[in-house]
Amino acid sequence: MIKTSRKKAGALRDERSAARTGVSNDTEPAWWKEAVFYQIYPRSFQDSDRDGVGDLRGIVSRLDYVRDLGVDAIWLNPVFASPNADNGYDISDYRAISPEFGTMEDFDRLVREAHARSLRVVLDLVVNHTSDEHPWFLSARSSRRSPYYDFYLWWAAERGTPPQRRSHFDPAGTAWRYNPPTDSYYLHYFSARQPDLNWNNPHVRSEIYDMMRFWLDKGIDGFRMDSISYIAKDPSFPELDRTACPDLFSCYARGPRLHEYLHEMNREVLAPYRCFSVGEGSAVTSGEVARFVEPGRQELDMLYHFGAAEVRNETTPDGEGTDIPYSLIALKRMFTRWDAAVGQGWPAIYLGNHDQPRMVSRFGSDEPGLRELSAKMLATFLLTMRGTPFWYMGDELGMANIRFRRIDDYDDIDTRNGYIRLQHEGGDTQLFLREQAEVGRDNARTPFQWNPTTYAGFSEVRPWLRVNPDYPRVNAAAQEHDAHSVLAYFRTAVTFRKQHRNLIYGSYRLLDADNKRVYAYLREGGGERYLVALNFSRRNALTLPGPELGRARIALHNYPDIAAPAGRVIELRPFEAVVYEL
């Protein structure tokens, strides 16, 4: 049972200071190294008050389901007051629950009920920017004399055109927006509805730390830190070096004083509260990640990266006929590189979240007959790989991309503003829509598919976003009592991971690196050795990973039947996953 008490911070403070001198290494036990995290996108999980939007009471009503998955912690996407320009990633009051999600009492009950089920609660910390409706910004944009003017980042118009900064979501692509009352431009790395905070200002930092303590005093267990790598900016706004950062964004993750701020946050809040932290490493490279997560640096516990999405978006198949639409060799190399890159830190592993399309559609196949097999194969990877797995809600059912075809079907500001930008530029909007059907973030944000009733049991009224029409076939109720379902396999694989600490803390070594269809690796620790062989293709594939398999025991596999291992060659069927205990 996890205690939910205000005294937790004080009691733990002493414990932490005693442990502070020790520099943990990557095998030092920690709950968050052994945990499986389950990400809940609240707006799409369960509607309890018939408004078509998921809410906190809906989540509470489903906590037994979450507990029965065997996971250990839930990461909630933002539930704070927000005008929802970016679905909660534009916060207008950091200490209030958005009325569409419920009340503060609903939140307190969620924490209690989660802890009663031994589920830790991790909130989304969005402090690179606020909403443009936050009182700080409303004051700041009214006058240069506002006490909050320096809570944000401005370029005075009398200095001329601001130096180029790109924006992820702006229809014109620029990260500067002119504000007449102050005759200056404000910076927004995301949409103009999301003005960036000025972390150079110590008053901003102390406000953020106080807010973090407010939620920790309510008993939460940690934070997922939104685009935390972006928070540091040089207030002189020099021209960025296009050689070092061709797309400009990678410079955003190398702002001056970034690690000073993270270390200060650790000293002020994370360490005293023993607060778990995982950063979203927007534009962070594998060469930089250790600076965020090496224990001795006392910054963050983990940092997740975008390597898998980049490989999927930017690589071509490994030669003719591999039938994998990206380079599996590049994917294997990328995960292997990042595994080593954390040094004494600890990796975070994921293939899907609220910003990515559904992993079964992206890295497996959602064609009937292959969807379940490939969903199980991907689950095997995430649950046997070294590092903490972050699992996205619904992937345990094999939920797939909805593939919207019309711009009006989309809610996401990223897609909608991207479309507007293309229209302005005279670009190919039809090609854009075909691409978004595969990579758009709304693919992962369709309502959770609980059962075959109208709106998939998510709501009794039309949801805020269309339900995937495959819900009569793909839903939790249909899988709850099916021993061969993706849901059953996920639970089995989680249990397998939990029962084998040496799998969690053991080493990772890539095998058969140049195999174009099979991802094989060795996990070793405490005298135990596990060989994982995953066929990422829809055809039979062979791997010769090295070890003699004659005496190997098959510990986990995703097909209903399997032949005993023999010799050194492993033949895998389409999307077959096998874990051998050597």
* Backbone region of residue 85 per phi and psi (left: phi > 0; alpha: psi in -120 to 50; beta: other values): alpha
Alpha-carbon distance of 182 to 149, in angstroms, equals 9
Of these, 283, 329, 373, 531, which contacts ligand TEU (CB under 6 A)?
A: 283
Of these, 306, 422, 478, 559, which contacts ligand TEU (CB under 6 A)?
A: 306
Tell me the HSE value of 456 on the side-chain side, using a 13 A CA sphere.
28
| Contact between 399 and 445 (Cβ < 8 Å) | no
Of these, 48, 82, 227, 380, which contacts ligand TEU (CB under 6 A)?
A: 227
Which class for 277: exposed (0-12), middle (13-18), buried (19 or more C-beta within 10 A)? Answer: buried
Specify the stretch interacting with ligand TEU by CB under 6 A; choose among 53-61, 175-183, 278-286, 425-433. 278-286
Full DSSP string of 402-467:
----SGGG---HHHHHHHHHHHHHT--HHHHHHHHHHH-GGGGTSPP--SSSGGGGT-SS--SSPP
> Closest residue to ligand TEU, Cβ-based?
282
User: Is 47 in a helix, a strand, or coil?
Assistant: coil
Minimum CB distance to ligand TEU smaller for 222 or for 506: 222
| Torsion angles phi and psi, residue 228, rounded to 5 | -65, -25
Minimum CB distance to ligand TEU smaller for 137 or for 190: 190
User: Which of 119, 137, 55, 133 shows the shortest CA–CA distance to 91?
Assistant: 133
Alpha-carbon distance of 23 to 482, in angstroms, equals 46
| Contact between 574 and 540 (Cβ < 8 Å) | yes
CB of 171 to ligand TEU, least distance (A): 15
Active site annotation includes 280: yes
CB of 172 to ligand TEU, least distance (A): 18
| Contact between 384 and 525 (Cβ < 8 Å) | no
CB of 282 to ligand TEU, least distance (A): 3
Specify the stretch interacting with ligand TEU by CB under 6 A; choose among 212-220, 275-283, 292-300, 460-468. 275-283
Minimum CB distance to ligand TEU smaller for 219 or for 279: 279
Alpha-carbon distance of 464 to 272, in angstroms, equals 40
Specify the stretch interacting with ligand TEU by CB under 6 A; choose among 138-146, 276-284, 287-295, 536-544. 276-284
- Kindly determine how many residues on this chain lie close enough to bind ligand TEU according to the rule CB under 6 A: 13
Minimum CB distance to ligand TEU smaller for 92 or for 282: 282
Alpha-carbon distance of 270 to 289, in angstroms, equals 19
| Contact between 120 and 2 (Cβ < 8 Å) | yes
Binding mask 416-455 for ligand TEU (x = CB under 6 A): ----------------------------------------
Active site annotation includes 226: yes
Site for ligand TEU in 77-96 (CB under 6 A): 86, 89
Specify the stretch interacting with ligand TEU by CB under 6 A; choose among 13-21, 52-60, 232-240, 280-288. 280-288
Tokens of 376: 């199980």
Minimum CB distance to ligand TEU smaller for 184 or for 227: 227
Q: Which of 226, 288, 372, 512 is catalytic?
A: 226
Using rule CB under 6 A, residue 252 touches ligand TEU:
no
CB of 149 to ligand TEU, least distance (A): 23
Minimum CB distance to ligand TEU smaller for 165 or for 168: 168
With vertex at residue 90, the alpha carbon angle to CA 89 and CA 95, rounded to the nearest 5 degrees, is 95
Using rule CB under 6 A, residue 110 touches ligand TEU:
no
| Torsion angles phi and psi, residue 121, rounded to 5 | -120, 120
Sign of CA dihedral 79, 84, 88, 94: negative
CB of 353 to ligand TEU, least distance (A): 7
Minimum CB distance to ligand TEU smaller for 41 or for 455: 41
CB of 230 to ligand TEU, least distance (A): 7
Alpha-carbon distance of 184 to 156, in angstroms, equals 4
Using rule CB under 6 A, residue 226 touches ligand TEU:
yes
Using rule CB under 6 A, residue 522 touches ligand TEU:
no
CB of 226 to ligand TEU, least distance (A): 5
CB of 126 to ligand TEU, least distance (A): 6
Site for ligand TEU in 353-382 (CB under 6 A): 354-355
Query: In 3-state terms, the chain is what percent helix, strand and coil (to 5)?
Result: 35, 15, 50
Binding mask 162-191 for ligand TEU (x = CB under 6 A): ------x---------------------x-
Minimum CB distance to ligand TEU smaller for 230 or for 237: 230
How many residues can be counted in the chain? 582
Specify the stretch interacting with ligand TEU by CB under 6 A; choose among 173-181, 277-285, 371-379, 558-566. 277-285
Residues 6+ apart with CB under 8 A from 453: none
CB of 413 to ligand TEU, least distance (A): 7
First to last CA, the chain: 35
Distances (CA, A) of 443 to 31, 187, 360, 378, 409: 31, 29, 11, 18, 11
Distances (CA, A) of 321 to 220, 515, 538, 544: 49, 13, 11, 20
Q: Which of 47, 72, 132, 280 is catalytic?
A: 280
Minimum CB distance to ligand TEU smaller for 392 or for 471: 392
Active-site annotation, residues: 226, 280
**Applying CB under 6 A, which residues contact ligand TEU?**
86, 89, 126, 168, 190, 226-227, 280, 282-283, 306, 354-355
